[in-house]
Amino acid sequence: MAQVAFVGAGPGDPELITLKGVRAIQAADVIIYAGSLVNPEILAYAREGAKIYNSAEMTLEQVIEVMEESAARGKQVARIHTGDPSIYGAIQEQMDILGRKNISYTVIPGVSSFLAAAASLRREYTLPGVSQTVILTRMEGRTPVPPGETLGELAKHGATMGIFLSVQDIERVMAELGRGYAPETPVAVVYKASWPEEKILKGTLADIAEKVEREGISKTALILVGGFLGSEYERSRLYDPEFSHGYREKSR
């Protein structure tokens, strides 16, 4: 077994974690969880006596120190990230340091919040004839984004877009998106997808900012944009009787 398991905890609902993720938490002597977003109920999977650290109060150096000391004493570590750790998880820098220190690790994926949001909205991101592309991004803020990746640039594709970490700047987000999408483009904001306090706001590029401000939503929300939220689309060829593929002949 690897010395450190990075675990995607899912979007909030403690049942939206993988079996493998639960097993890694059950097996852990030491748990480091991202306390700002991971549902504390996930910690109920920990065995009695496991040592628990909240990384929200720690630096990268302190997190690594806990991992290194634990590994040296033969202890199993579970490092719990919200959603899936590959999306804004700051996991790469941890993996690279562990690699240099010859500490073995494994990554257990999780259900990202953008997937939980689609489920709550009961919408499909990739509708035929509407968009076949999903762009996951965030607004430029205290941390810049690389050239060519501003919201205004990305908006020009007209694709389905999921915007993380940006709801506090909703007005600016909509102004930037207006460089590509029409003002009547549908927008949904999903606050705490899969949590009991989940909220869904629906509107357009033109009016969503006002609704979000009225509800006082300023964190833990995703902004979802595009025609996939509308009602017009073509039926899928996958189940079309006029269309054959590897698993099914065209019906007559």
**Of residues 7, 16, 80, 190, which one binds ligand SAH by CB under 6 A?**
190
Name the residue nearer to ligand SAH (CB basis): 127 or 188.
188
**Of residues 137, 194, 226, 228, which one binds ligand SAH by CB under 6 A?**
194
E strand spans, 156-220: 160-164, 186-191, 199-204
- Within 13 Å and on the Cβ side, how many CA atoms surround 245? 8
E strand spans, 120-198: 134-138, 160-164, 186-191
**CA distance to 2, 120, 191, 195, per residue, from 200 (Å):** 39, 8, 6, 12
> Quick check: 162 binds ligand SAH (CB under 6 A)?
no
Minimum distance from residue 194 beta carbon to ligand SAH (Å): 6
Name the residue nearer to ligand SAH (CB basis): 7 or 30.
7
Q: Is 143 exposed, middle or buried (0-12, 13-18, 19+ CB in 10 A)?
A: exposed
**Of residues 21, 83, 186, 226, which one binds ligand SAH by CB under 6 A?**
83
User: Six-digit token pair at 64?
Assistant: 């690594």
Contacts with ligand SAH in 226-245 (CB under 6 A)? none
**Of residues 20, 23, 51, 88, which one binds ligand SAH by CB under 6 A?**
88
> Quick check: 82 binds ligand SAH (CB under 6 A)?
yes
The H or E element that residue 173 is part of is helix 170-177
Distance CA 7, CA 218 (A): 26
> Quick check: 33 binds ligand SAH (CB under 6 A)?
no
**Of residues 113, 131, 137, 185, which one binds ligand SAH by CB under 6 A?**
113
Among all residues, whose Cβ is closest to ligand SAH? 83
Which residues does 117 contact at the CB level (< 8 Å), separation at least 6?
A: 11, 162, 188, 190, 193, 222, 224
> Quick check: 12 binds ligand SAH (CB under 6 A)?
yes
Which spans of this chain sit near ligand SAH (rule: CB under 6 A)? 11-12, 37, 81-84, 87-89, 112-113, 116-117, 164-165, 190, 192-195, 220-222
